Amino acid sequence: MMNIKKIIFFLIITFVLSTNLYAAIKDSLFATIGNKAITRSDIINEIKIILILNGQSYVDKDKESIESSAINSIIKRTIKKIEIEKYKALNFSKKDLENEISSLSKNLNIDSDTFSNIFIANGIDFSIIEDQLKTELLWNSLIFNLYKERLSINADEIEEQLKILQEKKEIESFLISELIIKPVPKEEVKNKVQEIMGKIETEGFEQVARSLSISETSIKGGKLGWIDENEISEIFRAKIKKTTTGNVSEPILMSEGILFFKVLERKKVKMFKDIEQAKKTLINVEKTKILNMHSLSHYDNLRRSVTINYH
């Protein structure tokens, strides 16, 4: 259960936003994305949601970054909604929605009821949060339906990883965050990496992830949570294991963009005995990686086709 200090903390978010930043702003049209209207109150609510999900209070020096993050988040979600509406047969399970809510509340070390009450206390109808989660679940369903025939897994690579894992009694687990920026021409990669690393140095990894990352984790400051090494593909695992705790990995060049990891913590965990379960885990990780790649690519194509007008 959340203690009184934390409750006060989240109420302070509303107080700061309403008194210092947005009290004088009357609601009005902010932008149209395709055929959908976005108001200034939508932006304010998105800022509150981002702050709450990241366990942060508003700081004036972060104003530009958090506003940019909120705008980018709404744009991405709205474009996804436009695409989702084209497909009538998409669905998700109620259990998946409950699991998503539970996962978000656990990130804040609170129960689901307290989690929903925090938003209500900050003037946000909890149905807004549920709607955001439903959009992501429907988007995942869409991507799976569109690209499931392309889920080709390299069986030899899976078997090789299993052999390596079988020789270990313990494996490493990493608490990591990610940052993915849009791809740039080959000749611009070096300068772009230097620019991003400079921003990370001055603004912090989480702020840069919120404002620039094209990953779904951007709203959470790039947080991925604890991931065991057997759940990470070889190319990513090698970079992560080389990175000292508290630091940012070397960039990983992908067709979808440039990826950075930040290793927050690491620990040893006991290796599981069920090799078949390990195999299923590795296969699911590879499938998720492929689907994420298609998700980024599909969204990028949509983004170029949707007209955005700011007012």
Could you report the per-residue pLDDT of 214-267, keeping only the tens digit for each? 888 887 888 888 888 877 878 888 899 999 999 999 999 988 889 999 999 999
12-32 pLDDT tens trace: 444 444 444 444 445 789 999
Please give the share of the chain, as a percent, with pLDDT higher than 90: 41
Packed helices 94-107 and 112-121: angle between N→C axes, nearest 10 degrees: 80
Model pTM score: 0.75
* Count of helices and strands (H, E) across the chain: 11, 7
Give the whole-angstrom CA distance, residue 246 versus residue 259: 17
* CB contact at 8 A, 247 and 238: no
Q: Please give the distance of CA 175 from its chain centroid, rounded to a whole number.
A: 14
Show the domains of the chain with their CATH numbers: 4-148 (1.10.4030.10), 156-271 (3.10.50.40)
**In Å, how far are 137, 195, 207 from 198, measured between CA atoms?**
35, 5, 13
